[in-house]
Amino acid sequence: MEPVTVNRANVRRGEVEAVIDGERRILCLTLGALAELETAFSADGLADLAARFSSGRLKATDLIRILGAGLRGGGNRLSDEDVAGMLVDGGLEACATMVRDLLTVTFGGQPPDPRQGIPASR
């Protein structure tokens, strides 16, 4: 059975959606979520944060922090510890795809094609 959600992600608002733990969720890096990430990564600002992310050298803990901030920005009440224990269809590759899509829509790149549906193993 397909997970159900009332809202759908709007990539023009910087949102992406994903199925995590069998539930469709919206992720968004709001200003609050970005401020949270600046603190977590000891970044000097958004440009420093973007440079770190564009390096392509993210650790598993980085993925957890980014996904956690995105989930909280999307209205999900989850801690990073909760996120670390969640299952994602498609495993690590799907997690990396979610983070890539979230960072892309946040920092002004080409948003993912909404016809592609929910990020999954590609």
**Residue 115 pLDDT grade (very low, low, confident, very high; cuts 50, 70, 90):** very low
Is residue 2 assigned to a domain?
no
Is residue 15 in some structural domain? yes
Range of the domain at 47: 11-108
Q: CB neighbours of 33 closer than 8 A, spacing ≥ 6?
A: 69, 70, 72, 73
In a domain, 42, yes or no: yes
pTM of the model: 0.81
d(CA 79, CA 25): 15
Q: What is the pLDDT of residues 88-104, one digit of tens each?
A: 988 899 999 999 999 99
- Confirm whether 40 is domain-assigned: yes
**Rounded distance between C-alpha atoms, residue 8 and residue 10, angstroms:** 6
